[in-house]
Chains A and B, each alone.
Chain A
Amino acid sequence: MNDTTRVPDSERMAATLAAQAYQKANQQKFREEVIAGGAPYVIADAVTPHEIFHALDVPVISLPWYSAIIAAKQLSPYYFGLMDELGYHDGLPRYGSLPFMTTLDNDSERAPYGGLPKPLMILERLRGDFGQKIGEQWARAFGGVPLVALDSSSQTTLGKGWSGRNQREWEELYEPHRLDFQVEQLKGIIALAEGLAHRALDPVEFRAVMHRVNQAGEQVERAKRIIARTRPAPVSLPEQLTNIMAATWNRGTQWAVDHLTAYCDELEERATKGIGACPNERIRLLWVNNGLWFNTSFYRAFEEKYGATFVWSMYSNFLSDGYRKYFGEDDDPLRALAARHISMNEQLHLPGWMAEWIIEQARDYQVDAAVVLVPIGDRMSSFGTKICTLALEKAGIPTLELKASMVDARLWDNDAMIRKVERFLEDRVIV
């Protein structure tokens, strides 16, 4: 999932090594308990309430995480070939379909971690039009497992300033009728999960999980303040992603809070000592939209020649800015959980909210320019990128659009892409 393997251990942050070790241990535990031991687990889309399962102590395999693992292991060309063979045309969305293909392929030798065994359920959120279509076929391919498709209500208005309002004014911001509906859907998931796993959701533990997610988000906010004010930035983007994403996928655990705290402590220490990921940092760049999972070394390809370094990606601060939802001790944490997901995609991918937040990030991180990934083959993630680019330019931030698949290495011409960014830096950024 990252290129930090190419960097000697001695040069990596201790937090990064710890995050990788934790992920490795988790994978080992997943193999032992779920694959070998047959313990229940859930396959879930990223924008779904993992917190419920974390509180039930049921492991969650996140779709984009598994897609990213497949891509990072350079297996996407094989599975996309299989997709073609089975009659799924080459224009279909790629990001979410890789894990489904590992099940249709049914080859545990090839699939990461030996492939996914039959889950307790598949949990989707129907933001786009096709999630239920993949989910139904996938559930059938597993020999019949419940598909829970959370329907996705839509925001009537996208008012200004969401990032300043969403943590405490979420009831008004996300529209009460939508929250009512989402809460009822969540209750259905809890009832089904309890029945299938023969476990009861402990309200005290659930509340604690919800608070811990907010605490983790506070640490991510702290990391932002450190990185934003420190030149050279004390961490590379691939290492940022390793640390933030490990905590994101394990959100709600005490480990995530402790890990992010240690990560921030180390960032502080590096900042104090003047240790930078790119010691000759001259240009700060923003990576807008989804990650380039099969080639995260691209983020560092412009450091040596131009002193240009990516300091931010969409994942750097979503946990802090868009996911924290505070609630009182007398409030229902389930409603706060509902608020975490019902507009996540609007915040990340819709013109208006997306552009507004990205510009805030650009200013906070003092960036000089931005590169926007326009994903090929996953058009949902491409929507809104034009207006975002226009808005960045209007805000005085030179912006380059790169069209590429997030996960399909076959469609990536590394040399051409590097040349594009280099030309952009030379023509529009370096003065």
Chain B
Amino acid sequence: MTGDEGLVRLCAAYDDRLGEARRRKAAGSRLVAYFLNSIPVELIVAAGLDPIRLVGDPARHAPIADRYMEEYMDGEVRSIFGSILTGEFDFADLLVIPRSSEVYLQLYYFLREMPEWEPEAKTPATYLFDLLQSPHWLTARYDAGRMRAFAEHLAALSGRVITENALRDAIKLLNCLRGALQKAAQLWRGERPALDGIDALKVIGAASILSPREALAAIEAMLADPPGPLGNTGPRVMLKGSPQNDIHVTRLIVEAGGTVVAQDHVAGDPTFRALINEEGNPWEALATHYQRHIPGPRVHPQSEQDAHFLALVRQANVDGVIFFHDEWDDTLGWEYPDQRKLLDSENIPSLFMKRQPYFDVPAAEQRAAIGDFVATVTRETVR
């Protein structure tokens, strides 16, 4: 596989996530679909099942979802809920929903109610993975128990008990994938970026769409045979805040002349920040990783998260930061005043785009705000 072919494969998977899922299903895979970045994929792999991460899509807004779910729920969750009810995720042998975000927990409970209200809807079997992320030893013990319970559930589905060796192998494989992404990050964060922000987002996203082995092969091909540097690049921008599971905002920044060098959200660069400890007990290492080293809205203390944020700003040599928060955000806004102060202390300009709708986006307003910001940062950078 050439580097170009690797990139094409990754982008194609990103662009047609559901098509990719259906192809694998048709080829005989037993698909375990999941949301967010807090499901231990290692267990799915160790059980001999095929993991795929699903997301919402602003273009998929099924009216049936609005019949039951409040408008204040994250747009992405409403989109997912609608997709499940209308059978768009029917390829999944199991849908795993993490507790690492309140709205996803709600999604789980809403789905549990649906047989009563929508008996015709063919929703896949669901499983709640009750991951807690408070930074305590007691929580680690709780999570270890939940890991074991999830492993048993997967083993029952696959007919294969998860052995310690199988788990170690899966951890190694997923660590290789994270390590490959860390190296690949130089292609968008480096001094002379070779991938624009859109392709970067697709590469990061595709790593959890393709099977881990295929994603690893494609990224390694790209690393062995990297694309050349981009032509003229504009100011280096970080996109931060609510999950960006589609390229809309990134594209607006690129079109405004910005170079997106970092994505600081749960679908961006932090997804491959940390590797799982391969020494010692793999169950404990797995639980610790997902409890302490996976970004998410419930993770604390905030000072630790802000230190990661600032480190990424520096690593990527960021000229400006765009904070982009979902319309119904009730969480990230609490962090913003302190994060803004951190940037001010480093003389890094920022733009706060609060309460942005998921569906029916005000693209013209967004384009204007981003355009003005990129132009301002460009002037500052030149100066």
Chain A residues with a Cβ under 8 A of chain B: 86-93, 126-130, 132-134, 136-137, 149, 151-154, 156-158, 177, 181, 184-185, 188, 346, 350-352, 374, 378-380, 382-387, 390
Contact = CB atoms under 8 A, between A and B. Distances in A.
Given A153-B132, A380-B102, A390-B68, A130 B109 contact: no
Interface string B279-313: 00000000000000000011011110000000000
Contacts of B109: 158, 346, 350-352
Interface in B129-170: 130, 132-134, 136, 138-139, 142, 145, 149
A91 B355 contact: yes
Contacts of B301: 132, 136
A352 B112 contact: yes
Given A87-B340, A156-B130, A386 B68 contact: yes
A352 B145 contact: no
B330 A93 contact: yes
Nearest to B116: A352
Given A374-B70, A385-B70, A386-B67, A149 B117 contact: no
Nearest to A355: B113
B70 A185 contact: no
Given A89-B333, A91-B355, A133-B335, A379 B328 contact: yes
Contact of A380 (B99, B149, B330, B334): B330
Nearest to A93: B330
A149 B134 contact: yes
Contact of A184 (B69, B101, B138, B327): B138
B335 A382 contact: no
A154 B334 contact: no
Secondary structure at the A interface, as helix, strand, loop or mixed, is loop
A156 B138 CA distance: 20
B165 to A, nearest CB: 27
Contact of A351 (B68, B128, B329, B334): B68
A188 B136 CA distance: 11
B72 A129 contact: no
B325 A383 contact: no
25 contacts: A89-B336, A89-B354, A91-B327, A91-B330, A91-B333, A92-B333, A92-B334, A130-B330, A133-B300, A133-B334, A136-B303, A149-B134, A151-B139, A158-B112, A177-B142, A185-B138, A350-B106, A350-B109, A374-B70, A379-B73, A383-B70, A383-B72, A386-B69, A390-B68, A390-B117
Interface of B: 67-70, 72-73, 99, 101-102, 105-106, 108-110, 112-113, 117, 128, 130, 132-134, 136, 138-139, 142, 145, 149, 297-298, 300-303, 325, 327-331, 333-338, 340, 352, 354-355
Given A151-B139, A153-B142, A181-B142, A87 B70 contact: no
Given A130-B331, A151-B133, 6 more contacts: A87-B336, A89-B355, A128-B331, A129-B331, A154-B108, A390-B67
A129 B297 contact: yes
Contacts, number: 129
B62 to A, nearest CB: 15
A65 B161 CA distance: 51
A380 B355 CA distance: 17
Contacts of B102: 127-129, 380
Nearest to B334: A133
B300 A129 contact: no
A154 B146 CA distance: 11
A379 B334 contact: no
Nearest to B296: A129
Contact of B334 (A134, A158, A177, A385): A134
A154 B128 contact: yes
A374 to B, nearest CB: 7
A374 B298 CA distance: 24
A93 B72 CA distance: 12
Given A91-B327, A92-B334, A154-B105, A126 B298 contact: yes
Contact of B130 (A88, A154, A158): A154
Given A128-B102, A157-B112, A379-B72, A188 B138 contact: yes
Contacts of A154: 99, 105, 108, 128, 130
A149 B132 CA distance: 12
B106 A88 contact: no
B173 to A, nearest CB: 29
B260 to A, nearest CB: 23
B113 A352 contact: yes
A132 to B, nearest CB: 4
A351 B110 contact: yes
A125 to B, nearest CB: 11
A365 to B, nearest CB: 24
A132 B300 contact: yes
Given A351-B109, A352-B109, A126 B130 contact: no
Contacts of A352: 109, 112-113
Contacts of B145: 177
B81 to A, nearest CB: 12
Contact of A91 (B101, B149, B340, B354): B354
Instruction: Please name the 10 residue pairs, one residue from A and one from B, whose CB atoms are nearest each other, closest first.
Output: A379-B72, A87-B337, A133-B334, A129-B297, A151-B134, A129-B331, A130-B331, A132-B300, A89-B333, A89-B354
A101 to B, nearest CB: 12
A20 to B, nearest CB: 34
A378 B328 CA distance: 10
B134 A126 contact: yes
Contacts of B139: 151
Nearest to B326: A91
A382 B109 CA distance: 14
Nearest to B69: A386
B241 to A, nearest CB: 11
A379 B333 CA distance: 14
Contacts of A380: 102, 330
B72 A382 contact: yes
Contact of A89 (B128, B132, B325): B325
Contact of A151 (B132, B333, B337): B132
A69 B67 CA distance: 35
Contacts of A151: 132-134, 136, 139, 142
A99 to B, nearest CB: 15
Contacts of B331: 128-130, 133
B300 A379 contact: no
A378 B302 CA distance: 22
Contacts of B105: 154
Interface centre among A185, A380, A387, A390 (most CB of B within 10 A): A387
A271 B142 CA distance: 51
B132 to A, nearest CB: 5
A67 B337 CA distance: 22
B297 A136 contact: no
B132 A129 contact: no
A87 B333 CA distance: 8
A346 to B, nearest CB: 8
A379 B330 contact: yes
A91 B242 CA distance: 14
A185 B149 CA distance: 21
B101 A129 contact: yes
